């Protein structure tokens, strides 16, 4: 969840470290700090609160050729400067930054205190610095290697020592760490975004690997000190990808980018002549795909809801039994690997801890697992048997928007492939593709209603509770809409199946509990209208998102947002856009920190 950046080079280290941390703000944090090596040893500067507090405390020019920085999200110990990273040992010669959780830190801490070590924080991370002090033999890499077997839990860490100037050593297990290569400079970071403006190439580290960098080179070894050769990849992102480009918030920019991100997800993957799709990264031939009898999609949060929609696509279009599972649940349940079942794990970052644990458990039991993620080189991308990059582009706002629609784009294409291998005719496939290809331009039409959605937000943002209701393929879109509202506005919102309304939730209906219905023009439309009338009969206020020209809906509800007509199965693409905008505008009107909502992080790398 936290952010790490490290630098070896000759440029202004203040600019490098603070700029890198600025790019990592989207991951969520409550304090930050840097440590730099100077002629007088290691200088540590830490501050609580927003990064601006640290920026104000750090000299604009620092004479140093190596240093580390960190944005912390409190897990062990309160939010304070003492608990902020970097942490040092007793001598002050060693400094550490760390993402993850050291599960056995208390036992280690007790032993170290008994040996005379003096601790200054309540964190789990500080034990790493003191362990390094004990293990120190003049070789930083060897010392790091010596202590790693003592650590139980997860880590992405960087260590520096005053007696080894110009060198940083990193290691990872369960928490991402990458290396960036520039011209006569080297970087370590938890995320490529931190170094995108400086590094031309990146190397992705795997669990169990240890890396040493200086401004002129690097070496990677394993736990037994064997050299490891890693592929060097081009930097995927451009510097402009991390700018707001005139939008007041990254979230609004990313909502409006969905016309482009969905188009990128389709590019080269729809074959109109054969009326099918193409996903080369699946690493499965047509015979293997035909042999699939069931699909299980695993994800967390927004990715889980995308998986629910993907499962609906597969059942409705291809007639394949499919379901979505919560990653945090499947990771620890007694998993029954069903014959001829294909598993997907879905994660924007490709580093989500719950989803990674589920992936490894599935593979341990012999399942074929494919990945759907946005981050090239991420752990999920490397550990799955195949998969698909959604090509959404960097998503900086904590609340996911364009990654969600890019994920369901991928599942729509996969469902088309599976349907054409089974029961879908070429005429039906061609019609589906044409309707699908129209989605980006139809989303543009929905985005043109932004001012009307802002007016709705002004009318309703003062209500403390909402119910979002949907049926069929739009049920998970209702769940996702409720999640967006509570994530960034802090308004309590529930996603409910409209068909379940009378099985309990209807007791909540009142004038103070607005209901937001998703009502596409499908076979369940009349059922939805009946549910709306039940709410209206109990004095509930109703907002409906419906198909353009549906006068019956417009005359029944209090407020309406209309979207263009599309194939009913594709309606979540259009229905979700007003929900994203509604949540965004409510949050802005209530003065919330839209891009970095409280208590949340973009990449959840600890359970």
Active-site residues, by number, are: 2, 602
Element (H, E) at 344: strand 341-347
Orientation of helix 439-447 relative to helix 426-437, angle to 10°: 30
Structure-token match 């943002």, residue found: 461
Structure-token match 């070496």, residue found: 219
**Structural tokens at position 518:** 């998703």
Gap between the Cα atoms of 166 and 173, Å rounded: 24
- The answer to whether 57 and 232 have CB atoms below 8 angstroms apart is no
Whether the bond into 146 is cis, omega within 30 of 0: no
Three-state SS for 42? strand
Gap between the Cα atoms of 195 and 180, Å rounded: 7
Element (H, E) at 294: strand 294-299
**Cα dihedral angle (250, 255, 258, 261), rounded to 10 degrees?**
20
Kindly give the residue spans of alpha helices, DSSP state H, lying in 351-449: 353-364, 379-383, 402-420, 426-437, 439-447
Gap between the Cα atoms of 299 and 404, Å rounded: 12
Gap between the Cα atoms of 590 and 469, Å rounded: 24
Element (H, E) at 157: strand 155-161
């Amino acid at each position: 969840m936290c952010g790490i950046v490290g630098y070896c080079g000759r440029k202004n280290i203040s600019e490098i470290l603070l700029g890198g941390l600025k790019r990592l703000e989207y991951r969520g944090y409550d304090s930050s700090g840097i440590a730099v090596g100077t002629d007088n040893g290691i200088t540590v500067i830490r501050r609580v609160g927003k990064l601006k507090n640290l920026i104000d405390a750090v000299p604009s020019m620092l004479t140093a050729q190596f240093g580390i920085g960190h944005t912390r999200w409190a897990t062990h110990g309160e939010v304070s400067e003492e608990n902020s990273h970097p942490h040092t040992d007793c001598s002050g010669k060693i400094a550490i930054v760390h993402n993850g959780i050291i599960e056995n830190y208390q036992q280690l801490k007790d032993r170290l205190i008994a040996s005379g070590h003096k601790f200054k924080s309540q964190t789990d991370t500080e034990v790493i610095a003191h362990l390094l002090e004990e293990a120190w033999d003049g070789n930083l890499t060897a010392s790091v290697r010596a202590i790693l077997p003592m650590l139980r839990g997860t880590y992405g860490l960087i260590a520096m020592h005053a007696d080894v100037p110009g060198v940083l050593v990193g290691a990872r297990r369960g928490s991402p760490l990458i290396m960036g290569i520039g011209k006569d400079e080297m970087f370590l970071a938890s995320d490529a975004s931190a170094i995108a403006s400086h590094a031309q190439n990146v190397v992705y580290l795997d669990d169990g690997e240890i890396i040493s960098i200086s401004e002129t080179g690097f070496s990677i070894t394993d736990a037994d000190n064997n050299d490891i050769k890693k592929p060097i990849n081009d930097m995927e992102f451009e510097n402009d990808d991390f700018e707001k480009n005139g939008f007041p918030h990254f979230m609004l920019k990313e909502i409006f980018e969905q016309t482009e991100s969905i188009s990128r997800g389709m590019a080269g993957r729809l074959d109109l002549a054969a009326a099918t799709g193409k996903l080369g990264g699946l690493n499965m031939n047509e015979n293997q795909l035909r042999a699939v009898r069931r699909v299980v999609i695993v994800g967390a949060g927004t990715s889980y809801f995308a998986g629910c929609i993907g499962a609906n696509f597969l059942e409705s279009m291809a007639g394949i039994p499919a379901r979505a599972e919560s990653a945090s649940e499947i990771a620890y349940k007694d998993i029954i690997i069903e014959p001829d079942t294909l598993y997907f794990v879905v994660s924007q970052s490709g580093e989500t801890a719950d989803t990674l644990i589920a992936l490894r458990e599935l593979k341990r039991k012999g399942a074929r697992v494919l990945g759907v993620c946005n981050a090239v080189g991420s752990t999920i991308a490397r550990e799955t048997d195949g998969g698909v990059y959604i090509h959404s582009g960097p998503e900086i706002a904590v609340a996911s928007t364009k990654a969600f629609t890019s994920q369901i784009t991928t599942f729509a294409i996969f469902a088309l492939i599976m349907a054409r291998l089974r029961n879908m005719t070429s005429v039906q496939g061609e019609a589906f593709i044409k309707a699908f290809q129209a989605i980006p331009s139809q989303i543009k039409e929905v985005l043109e209603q932004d001012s009307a959605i802002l007016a709705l937000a002004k009318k309703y943002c003062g209500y403390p509770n909402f119910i979002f209701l949907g049926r069929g393929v739009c049920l998970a879109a209702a769940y996702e809409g409720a999640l967006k509202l509570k994530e960034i506005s802090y308004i309590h919102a529930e996603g409910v199946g409209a068909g379940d309304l009378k099985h309990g939730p209807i007791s909540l209906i009142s004038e103070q509990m607005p209901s937001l219905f998703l009502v596409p023009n499908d076979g369940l439309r009349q059922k939805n209208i009946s549910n709306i009338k039940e709410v209206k009969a109990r004095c509930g206020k109703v907002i409906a998102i419906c198909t353009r020209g549906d006068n019956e809906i417009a005359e029944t509800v209090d407020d309406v947002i209309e979207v263009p007509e599309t194939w009913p199965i594709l309606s979540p693409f259009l229905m979700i856009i007003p929900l994203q905008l509604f949540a965004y505008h409510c949050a802005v009107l209530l003065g919330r920190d839209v891009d970095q909502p409280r208590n949340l992080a973009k990449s959840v790398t600890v359970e």
